[in-house]
């Protein structure tokens, strides 16, 4: 007799939702949001198809060439037709353990790279990055990566300008939507305010509150968004759109500062008491330092934003309480730290930094927890231990690391020596989504001697691995979940048995550690670890009142404190205080200085100036992006392509799901074009086109819309990489990372610059190859 269907609550980075599983314990029947979720994420619609999709990794698998010939660089790694051999778990674990032992013995612990990224699982225990790093730390250490792809440039820059505590406050305790509703007359957002980004929080939220709070703020506050896309701000805000060409925001910001200075609107008292470097910035925008006047007419020629609009906006900003917001996407470009720096300078010249609902923000519209206005609560954690290996790279420099071992890498005023990595161990991330110039990345991975990957599905990363170990998905394991500023610590219960021979990472790494003479799981299974982590959290003095674990698990969670931080001045003396960033500093900059060399906001950074870098000056400056140089190149690649995060999935996760598939055009990722640009190329909705840059090409499906500026195209990231027809395009499915440049933001920050690239687009009139991105590899029997 078949068991009845069961309903379970589970959590992902896009929030908490419910699933119904058939009586067989395998088949996912449906997935849906809670009725009281004010803005549930469409990505929930991908869960059903992904759960038992044919691309699931069923058993441990070893690449044929590596199995037969042993470790070593191999140009076949990642080939579409390269076969795999499925093996039992003992064989797979013995192979991985032996290879870890060999590489460490022959080349040292730094020859192992721990390539996990943090978006694999929303759970506190089965968080792939934490599990992998704990294992590697306990077995010798590893070369690690720092920062992230989301805000890698600003993470390096802002501590120099405002000090590390205030920089952290800008991320974790910014002005909230409630502060905006109560105090702000005008929010000016560079890069838009995308609703879809509020659906996602690391760890997920019990309910999506960010967009609802923003809607309430719109009842009392005016919004202006500056972007190349009219629909870059959700409709409920009623935001006024000011068009600006991609990569030119710094020029527009400098022109706004010019108006404030020339028209006597700058707050000279604030600049004198709370900032350093205002006179040098003033001389720069007025042209006294180099003869170039950065006025609105100068900016109009660069940005295509009318000079009259720039002047009117500057006066409007100075007329009331204004919050300047710079989204994460702007710093994911060439010299990406510059728009963040220029945005802070603009806010400082307005003189409202530290006032409730005014000043500077970096993240509204970029993440769902940003602006919820709740003081963060400590959450249960898995101890990762200490890494004895000092070697590191900024995460966006992975290809440089593998291609240029022993080379020097300038970073944040120092020089890193890149170690000679022979083995990369990857879990919980997909670099084929995050990284740029996939030809170069594939070449880099082929230099490795061994590449080990944990995966639920046969992603492009798994298809480049030598050993692939199948892991259970979020729906197939028990965990606890919560995100920053969340209302509830939740029991995320297993809904289904693991697929085929998939195992939890705790088990996989525990068995590997045993083979290497180490202890990863300390004799506890997942149930034991969840109980231990929860009880340790509950016993901590900083934790809220909470029941014992059995009660917590039976009730499905425990409410977390939801106390908003205030908009008033703080009381601590080592940073911004107990309110939004800069509140205490604003009230008394002498008693509450920032942790900068001057104790003030460094509009001009003597520290950065002392680094003597060729591409970063002492203050924010405008330099034409390098990819614009050359008349021939500009004529060929005549469209600016914006590459931003998708709304139908998280990054590349579950791209085969219904919500993601519904956005495809002709089975491929869509490219949006302005009607003028489509007409000039003879294109209409639904056409398949070839999109080319200096680095590669892809096929995409056309969507024509007037929501873009002429000369601008737009595609979402995250389409699974499909190189199955290289004679047609580098990716026939539409992964934009075949087009983007793998060059750093700058020698200061070394972050990604993949949000913007120059391209050419033309109709593809030849045969359209099928999309094979979601197909598993071929398998052969072991000889």
Q: What is the DSSP annotation of 246-291?
A: TT-HHHHHHHHHHHHHHTT-S-HHHHHHHEE-HHHHHHHHHTTTTS
298 CA to centre of own chain: 33
Q: Where in the chain is the domain with CATH 2.40.40.20?
A: 626-763
Location of structure tokens 């995460």: 395
Residue 274 is predicted with a pLDDT of 98
Distances (CA, A) of 223 to 76, 189, 238, 317, 567: 52, 8, 7, 11, 20
CB 722 within 8 A of CB 738: no
Tell me the per-residue pLDDT of 598-633, one tens digit each, with 9 for 90 and over.
999 999 999 999 999 999 999 999 999 887 765 557
Q: Which two tokens stand for residue 778?
A: 């071929």
Calculate ∠ Cα 278-282-287, nearest 5°. Answer: 155
Q: For domain 626-763, give the fold.
A: Barwin-like endoglucanases (2.40.40)
Helix (H) or strand (E) holding 221: none
Catalytic-role residue among 119, 142, 426, 637: 119
Tell me the per-residue pLDDT of 124-183, one tens digit each, with 9 for 90 and over.
999 999 999 999 999 999 999 999 999 999 999 999 999 999 999 898 888 889 999 999
Rounded distance between C-alpha atoms, residue 490 and residue 267, angstroms: 47
**Does residue 557 come out as left (phi exceeding 0), alpha (psi in the -120 to 50 range) or beta?**
left
Q: What are phi and psi of 98, to 5 degrees?
A: -65, -40
Alpha helices in 596-732 (DSSP H): 606-611, 631-636, 658-661, 675-680
Residue 629 is predicted with a pLDDT of 63
Local structure of 100: helix, strand or coil = helix
CA-wise closest residue to 361 among 154, 222, 216:
154
Residue 237 DSSP symbol: G
Helix (H) or strand (E) holding 344: helix 337-350
Asked: is 154-372+580-611 a CATH 3.40.228.10 domain? The reply is yes
Residue 410 is predicted with a pLDDT of 98
DSSP per residue over 529-550, as a string? HHHHHHHHHHHSTTSPP---HH
The answer to whether 117 is a known catalytic residue is yes
Q: Which two tokens stand for residue 473?
A: 């998905």
Rounded distance between C-alpha atoms, residue 225 and residue 459, angstroms: 36
Q: Where in the chain is the domain with CATH 3.40.228.10?
A: 154-372+580-611
Rounded distance between C-alpha atoms, residue 339 and residue 342, angstroms: 5
Distances (CA, A) of 741 to 157, 339, 737: 22, 19, 8
Tell me the per-residue pLDDT of 316-362, one tens digit each, with 9 for 90 and over.
999 999 999 999 999 999 999 999 999 999 999 999 999 999 999 99
First to last CA, the chain: 42
Q: Which two tokens stand for residue 618?
A: 């002492």
Rounded distance between C-alpha atoms, residue 352 and residue 360, angstroms: 8
Rounded distance between C-alpha atoms, residue 475 and residue 495, angstroms: 5
Residue 518 is predicted with a pLDDT of 98
3-state secondary structure 428-489: CCCHHHHCCCHHHHHHHHHHCCEEEEEECECCHHHHCCCEEEEECCHHHCCEEECCCCCCEE
Q: Which two tokens stand for residue 28?
A: 């996912």
Rounded distance between C-alpha atoms, residue 437 and residue 445, angstroms: 13
Max Cα–Cα distance, the chain, nearest Å: 85
Catalytic-role residue among 14, 117, 142, 565: 117
CB neighbour class for 591 (10 Å; exposed up to 12, middle 13-18, buried from 19)? exposed
Residue 580 is predicted with a pLDDT of 66
- CB burial of 424-458 (b: ≥16 within 10 Å; e: otherwise) equals bbbbbbbbbbbbbbbebbbbbbbbbbbbbbbbbbb
Residue ranges for the chain with pLDDT beneath 50: 568-578
Residues in the chain: 783
CB neighbour class for 193 (10 Å; exposed up to 12, middle 13-18, buried from 19)? buried
Tell me the per-residue pLDDT of 104-120, one tens digit each, with 9 for 90 and over.
999 999 999 998 877 87
The answer to whether 119 is a known catalytic residue is yes
Distances (CA, A) of 191 to 54, 87, 773: 38, 49, 31
Rounded distance between C-alpha atoms, residue 67 and residue 694, angstroms: 36
């Amino acid at each position: 007799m078949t068991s009845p269907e069961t309903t379970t609550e589970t959590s992902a980075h896009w929030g908490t939702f419910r699933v119904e599983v058939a009586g067989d314990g395998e088949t996912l029947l449906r997935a849906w949001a809670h009725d009281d979720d004010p803005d549930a994420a469409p990505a929930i619609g991908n869960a059903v198809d992904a759960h038992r999709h044919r691309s699931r990794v069923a058993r441990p698998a070893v690449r044929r060439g590596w199995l037969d010939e042993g470790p070593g660089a191999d140009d076949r790694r990642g080939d579409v037709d390269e076969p795999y051999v499925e093996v039992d778990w003992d064989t797979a674990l013995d192979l991985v353990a032996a290879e870890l032992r060999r590489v460490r013995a022959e080349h040292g612990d730094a020859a192992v790279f721990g390539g996990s990224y943090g978006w694999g699982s929303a759970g506190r225990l089965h968080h792939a990055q934490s599990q992998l790093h704990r294992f590697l730390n306990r077995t010798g250490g590893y070369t690690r990566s720092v920062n992230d792809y989301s805000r890698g440039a600003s993470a390096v820059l802002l501590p120099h300008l405002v000090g590390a505590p205030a920089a952290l406050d800008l991320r974790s305790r910014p002005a909230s939507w409630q502060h905006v509703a109560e105090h702000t007359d005008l929010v000016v957002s560079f890069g838009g305010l995308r609703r879809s980004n509020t659906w996602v929080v690391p760890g997920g939220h019990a309910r999506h509150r960010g967009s609802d709070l923003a809607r309430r703020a719109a009842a009392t506050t005016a919004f202006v968004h500056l972007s190349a896309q009219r629909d870059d701000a959700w409709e409920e805000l009623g935001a006024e759109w000011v068009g600006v060409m991609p990569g030119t925001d710094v020029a527009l910001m400098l022109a706004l500062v010019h108006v404030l200075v020339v028209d006597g609107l700058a707050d000279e008292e604030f600049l004198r008491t709370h900032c350093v470097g205002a006179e040098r910035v003033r001389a720069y925008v007025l042209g006294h330092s180099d003869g170039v006047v950065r006025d609105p007419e100068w900016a109009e020629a660069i940005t295509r934003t009318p000079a009259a609009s720039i002047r009117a906006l500057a006066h409007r900003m100075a007329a009331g309480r204004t919050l300047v917001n710079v989204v994460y996407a702007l710093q994911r470009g060439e010299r990406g730290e510059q728009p963040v720096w220029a945005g802070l300078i603009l806010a400082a010249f307005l003189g409202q930094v530290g006032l409730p609902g005014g000043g500077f923000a970096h993240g509204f519209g970029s993440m769902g927890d940003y602006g919820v206005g709740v003081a963060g609560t400590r959450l249960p954690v898995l101890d990762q231990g200490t890494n004895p290996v000092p070697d590191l790279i900024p995460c966006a420099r992975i290809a440089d690391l593998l291609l240029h071992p022993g080379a020097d890498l300038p970073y944040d005023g120092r020089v890193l020596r890149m170690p000679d990595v022979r083995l990369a161990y990857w879990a919980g991330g997909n670099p084929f989504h995050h990284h740029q110039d996939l030809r170069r990345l594939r070449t880099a991975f082929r230099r490795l001697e061994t590449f080990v990957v944990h995966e639920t599905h046969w992603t492009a990363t798994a298809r480049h691995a030598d050993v692939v170990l199948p892991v259970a998905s979020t729906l197939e394991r028990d965990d606890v979940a919560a995100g920053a500023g969340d209302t509830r610590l939740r029991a995320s219960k297993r809904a289904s048995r693991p697929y085929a021979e998939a195992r939890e990472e705790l088990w996989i790494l525990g068995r590997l550690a045993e083979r290497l003479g180490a202890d990863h799981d300390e004799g506890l299974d997942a149930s034991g670890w969840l109980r231990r982590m929860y009880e340790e959290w509950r016993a901590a003095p900083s934790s809220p009142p909470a029941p014992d674990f059995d009660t917590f698990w039976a009730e499905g969670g425990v409410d977390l404190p939801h106390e908003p931080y205030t908009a008033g001045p703080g009381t601590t003396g080592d940073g911004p205080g107990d309110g939004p960033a800069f509140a205490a500093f604003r009230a008394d900059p002498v008693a509450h200085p920032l942790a900068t060399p001057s104790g003030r906001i460094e509009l001009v950074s003597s520290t950065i100036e002392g680094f003597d870098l060729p591409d970063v000056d002492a203050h924010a400056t405008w330099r034409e992006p390098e990819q614009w140089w050359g008349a021939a190149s500009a004529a060929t690649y005549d469209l600016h392509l914006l590459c931003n995060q998708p709304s139908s999935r998280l990054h590349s996760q579950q791209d085969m799901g219904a919500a993601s598939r519904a956005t495809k055009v002709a089975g491929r990722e869509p490219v949006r074009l302005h009607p003028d640009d489509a007409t000039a190329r003879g294109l209409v909705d639904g056409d398949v086109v070839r999109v080319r840059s200096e680095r590669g090409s892809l096929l995409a499906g056309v969507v024509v819309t007037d929501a873009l500026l002429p000369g601008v195209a737009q595609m979402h990231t995250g389409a699974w990489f499909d190189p199955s027809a290289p004679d047609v395009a580098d990716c026939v499915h539409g992964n934009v990372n075949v087009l983007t440049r793998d060059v750093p933001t700058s020698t200061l920050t070394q972050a990604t610059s993949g949000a913007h690239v120059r391209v050419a687009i033309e109709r593809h009139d030849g045969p359209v190859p099928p999309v094979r991105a979601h197909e598993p590899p071929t398998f052969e029997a072991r000889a």
